[in-house]
Amino acid sequence: MPRVVPSQVVSLIDQLFPQYRAGTTNRNLWYNQVWERCYGLQAVLDLTDQIPSSLIILNDQDYSVLVSSIAAIRNVMKNPKKYGAGFSIDLGPIEEFGNVNPIALLHDLLSKCPDESPSPGTAELSFISDQALRESLRNDIDTIHRALSNSEWKGATVLAGSVVEALLLWALQQKTSMEITGAVNVLVTNRTLSRNPALGWRKTSAI
């Protein structure tokens, strides 16, 4: 099953409920729809439920609004109102949260969430002080774990190689030029290296 990310739900809301896009002036309007046409709301709920919890990164207040918005949508979906021979839903704005419709609130809050974030079990890499690099590598490592669990061997191998390369480069950047030169000289002396890389490639005569 494809991995669902917050931006996917945001895009779906933009497509199905353009009246509640960010910046519109009618985000406090009620949403009224006959029951047979409520597949859009159900799709939004289903996709939202499939977003990994590690991607819902919000402060306490925003998370409370998110849960309340989902609850409001779910409640009207479970309790449609009977009108004549059919049923419909009436989804009104939440007065306590700026008098904004729950669909618009859900849109705004999921827009704040990232599409990539490592799972809690991913190595912290706390020894790397550069936050941007640390988060990027953790995201890559988490992707490797998912690829392995899906038997995507080639993708996991290629990405793992790039992570190892990045870690080696980071480790070298922590050393002074004197330390690097000394280490190279030792490797050349004990013949682990056949030449000093700083001297460049030696020209060889054509065969």
Name 6's Cβ contacts closer than 8 Å, sequence gap at least 6: 51, 55, 56, 110, 111, 113, 114, 115
- The verdict on 152 and 71 lying in the same domain is no
When divided into structural domains, the chain yields a total of 2
- The verdict on 12 and 107 lying in the same domain is yes
Question: Do the domain assignments include residue 125?
Answer: no
pLDDT score recorded for residue 199: 67
Q: What is the pTM of this model?
A: 0.64
Question: Do the domain assignments include residue 67?
Answer: yes
**SS3 state of residue 60:** helix
**SS3 state of residue 81:** strand
- The verdict on 28 and 84 lying in the same domain is yes
pLDDT score recorded for residue 133: 87
Whether pLDDT at 122 is above 90: no
- The verdict on 145 and 49 lying in the same domain is no
Is residue 73 within 8 A of residue 45, CB to CB? The reply is yes
Q: Residue 142 belongs to what domain range?
A: 131-199
What is the token pair recorded at 35?
Answer: 């029951």
Question: Do the domain assignments include residue 206?
Answer: no
Q: What is the DSSP secondary structure assignment for residue 201, as one 8-state letter?
A: P
- The verdict on 184 and 156 lying in the same domain is yes
pLDDT score recorded for residue 206: 42
- The verdict on 55 and 96 lying in the same domain is yes
Q: Each residue of 123-143: pLDDT tens digit?
A: 888 888 888 888 888 888 888
CA distance 91 to 112: 23
Q: Each residue of 174-204: pLDDT tens digit?
A: 888 888 888 888 888 888 877 777 666 444 4
- The verdict on 192 and 162 lying in the same domain is yes
pLDDT score recorded for residue 207: 39
pLDDT score recorded for residue 200: 60
- The verdict on 13 and 107 lying in the same domain is yes
Mean per-residue pLDDT over the chain, rounded: 86
How many Cα atoms are found within 13 Å in the side-chain-facing hemisphere of 160?
11
- The verdict on 137 and 105 lying in the same domain is no
Higher pLDDT pick, 43 / 149: 43
Q: Each residue of 65-112: pLDDT tens digit?
A: 999 999 999 999 998 888 777 889 999 999 999 999 999 999 999 999
Question: Do the domain assignments include residue 174?
Answer: yes
- The verdict on 63 and 100 lying in the same domain is yes
Question: Do the domain assignments include residue 1?
Answer: no
CA distance 140 to 151: 16
Question: Do the domain assignments include residue 63?
Answer: yes
- The verdict on 94 and 146 lying in the same domain is no
- The verdict on 100 and 160 lying in the same domain is no
Sheet holding 86-91, edge to edge: 31-34, 86-91, 81-83
Question: Do the domain assignments include residue 120?
Answer: no
Sequence letter at residue 127: F
Q: Which residues, in sequence order, are bridge partners of residue 82? A: 87
